[in-house]
Amino acid sequence: MKIQFIFNPKSGPPRRNAHLLTVLRDFIAAHRSEAELCVTDSPGHATDLARQAVAAGCDRVVAMGGDGTMNEVAQALVRGPAALALVPCGSGNGLARHLGLPTSPILALKLASDPSARIAAIDSGTVNGRPFFNAMGLGFDAEISRRFHTIEGRGLSGYVGAAYAAYYAHRNERCVITSGLERETIEIFLITIANSDQYGHGAIIAPGARVDDGQLDLVAVKPVGLVRGSVLAARMFLGGFKHSSCIRRLRGAHFVIERPAPGIIHTDGECHAEGATLEIAVQPGSLRVVVPADARIPENPEDR
């Protein structure tokens, strides 16, 4: 089996990443596998490296980083023959947690490089043609991501700090959401379109969402005050907010969101400028991913 490891040295604390790079090199040397290690040096580099790996005939491409690294690598593998494997070492690791992947780097490396490991087909999504695999969002959701990437401290504490700073600068938006034949106007604090059930860190934004159901979950949070917003945030870590008057939830394969003006969105935590109209669609069973043996995901889209 031919494997390409793609390591992002900026996905976590510098000291930890230096250690993880040593661990990865030692692991490859010890297992004497037909593997190559590449280290990213700029945004988008992981996608280029993954495309080169596919062209070189790699059976498996391993993303070692956070959700942003996962997104870049996965872009090159959609509807292709190579499978994605994840060694989660970022700040949130939402997709990896949803799939039940090991959080220990050594255990994750063993699973990623196991020739007999189970491979399942999961859905992905696109927003105006831009791919995402865990979640995308706008409003407060995107503003947190933008601020989070400007601070030095990562992890949950950095995310919480970015969230409080974003809250005081945020302005609500009046959006029109179209899903199938339904069309509604709603004042929103944030909108998340989720493929998995969580942001990361165990923060459940879309309870019951699955990456293998051919659907995306839209979660719109209406304007909330700081106290109520903090309560909702806490409830995410306690299993999610299934019932709340502040939440509007839709499930579907296609959404159109019209907002007052162009602005930023995030896809798997990475920010981008987009137009006022956002067209979101699911891509069923479009990505092959290495998963634990007990993952409740079918190996083929036809087995749904």
pLDDT band, very low/low/confident/very high, at 125 (cuts 50, 70, 90): very high
User: What φ, ψ does residue 183 adopt, rounded to 5°?
Assistant: -140, 125
Tokens in use for 10?
């900026």
Pure H helices in the chain: 14-31, 45-55, 67-75, 94-99, 105-112, 140-148, 155-169, 226-236
- Asked if the structure places residue 64 within a domain, the reply is yes
Average pLDDT of span 89-100: 89
Measure the CA dihedral 288/111/297/249, to 10°: -90
Q: Which domain holds residue 238?
A: 130-284
pLDDT exceeding 90 applies to what percent of the chain?
A: 64
Output Rg (C-alpha) for the chain, integer angstroms: 19
pLDDT at residue 143, as a whole number: 81
pLDDT attached to residue 168: 53
Work out the average pLDDT over 240-263. Answer: 89
In a domain, 124, yes or no: no
Collapse the DSSP code of 237 into the 3-class scheme (helix H, G, I; strand E, B; otherwise coil) and give the result: coil
Q: What is the pTM of this model?
A: 0.89
- What pLDDT was estimated at residue 216? 98
Please check the confidence at residue 239 and state whether its pLDDT lies above 80: no
Q: Which of 293, 289, 296 is closest to 116 using CA atoms? A: 293
For residue 300, what are the contacts with CB-CB under 8 A and spacing of at least 6? Answer: 121, 285
Whether residues 106 and 174 fall in one domain: no
CATH number of residue 140's parent domain = 2.60.200.40
Mean predicted confidence (pLDDT) in 251-270: 96
Please give the residue that has the higher pLDDT: either 296 or 157.
Answer: 296
CA angle, corner 304, sides to 65 and 121, nearest 5?
25
Position 272: which residue type? H
Residue 147, φ and ψ in degrees, nearest 5: -70, -35
CATH at 40: 3.40.50.10330
What φ, ψ does residue 117 adopt, rounded to 5°?
-60, 150
Q: How many domains does the chain have?
A: 2
Selected residue with higher pLDDT from 237 and 110 = 110
Instruction: Indicate whether 159 and 97 sit together in one domain.
Output: no
- Asked whether the predicted pLDDT for residue 301 surpasses 50, the reply is no
Q: Are residues 168 and 276 in the same domain?
A: yes
| Interval 57-91: pLDDT, tens | 999 999 999 999 999 999 999 999 999 999 998 87
Quick one: how far is CA 221 from the chain centroid? 19
Q: What is the pLDDT of residue 215?
A: 97
Tell me the three state secondary structure of residue 158. Answer: helix
Burial, 120: exposed, middle or buried (Cβ in 10 Å; 0-12, 13-18, 19+)? buried
Same domain, yes or no, for 150 and 179?
Answer: yes
Does the structure show a pLDDT above 90 at 193? Answer: yes
Pairing verdict, β 254-258 and 247-252: unpaired
222 occurs within a structural domain: yes
Q: Please state, in angstroms and rounded to a whole number, the distance separating the CA atoms of residues 20 and 135.
A: 26
Kindly compute the dihedral angle of the four CA atoms of residues 257, 98, 65, 88, in this order, to the nearest 10 degrees: 170
Top-confidence residue, 252 or 245: 252
Q: Are residues 245 and 220 in the same domain?
A: yes
The whole-number pLDDT of residue 249 equals: 94
Give residue 300's pLDDT band: very low, low, confident or very high (50, 70, 90): low
For 2-48, how does the pLDDT look when each residue is reduced to its tens digit (9 = 90+)?
999 999 988 766 667 778 889 999 998 887 678 999 999 999 999 99
Percentage with pLDDT > 70 across the chain: 86
User: Is position 270 within any domain?
Assistant: yes
- pLDDT tens for each residue of 280-292: 999 999 999 999 9
